[in-house]
Amino acid sequence: MRALPIAVTVLAAALALTSCDDSGDNSSSSKTSETGKTETNAVAAADCKIDSVGIQVGPANVAPAAGDTGNVPVTITNRDSPCTLKGFPGLEVHAGSTSTDIVADKAATPEKLTLAKNDTASFTITYVRGTAGDANTLDLKTLKISLPEATATQDFKWSYGPVAGKGGAGELDASVTPFTHAGD
């Protein structure tokens, strides 16, 4: 006799839960077509574009002397509609007529980030200061930053001292981390 009221209560609760609308996720919407199948329309954010973001380089933890390590944080703020970042930024540095890339940190694993308007992401450049005038050192003047899947760049003055070389010609003792959410 008691089983019937409990079964009715469980059934009512199940029906109430299935009628709830979870509208907290705005990344997709679904509807039922005339055939009875559910169709989902995912709203995917496009890749972030360099002309739609603000970039701030520094303030840095500058390497004070040759052989010391320095860190240069870079913050990117999305100024437009939601966009995504995945991977590493493109970093090209110039010392007079010589240019080279700063390579990705091989130990780091990038994740896909979606930035809403005014959200920020960051990455860090880590470098070893070189000895001015040394054949293996580049006295950098310009840092060019690009976003993944893009060729457009923004240029910034490099004011953190010369960077030590490593290995072969033009390879710097420097690396960059993948993008991470900034703040919180």
Q: How far apart are CA 111 and CA 96, in angstroms?
A: 35
Q: Would residue 6 count as lying in a domain? A: no
Q: How far apart are CA 121 and CA 161, in angstroms?
A: 25
177: nearest Cα among 120, 92, 111, 133: 111
The total domain count for the chain is: 1
Per residue in 5-55, pLDDT tens? 444 343 344 434 334 444 333 333 334 444 444 333 345 678 999 999 999
Q: Residue 123: which CATH number?
A: 2.60.40
Q: Would residue 117 count as lying in a domain? A: yes
Q: Would residue 135 count as lying in a domain? A: yes
Q: Would residue 17 count as lying in a domain? A: no
Count of CB atoms situated within 10 Å of the CB of 106: 6
Domain that holds residue 86: 46-181
Per residue in 134-183, pLDDT tens? 888 999 999 999 999 888 999 999 999 999 998 665 789 999 999 998 86
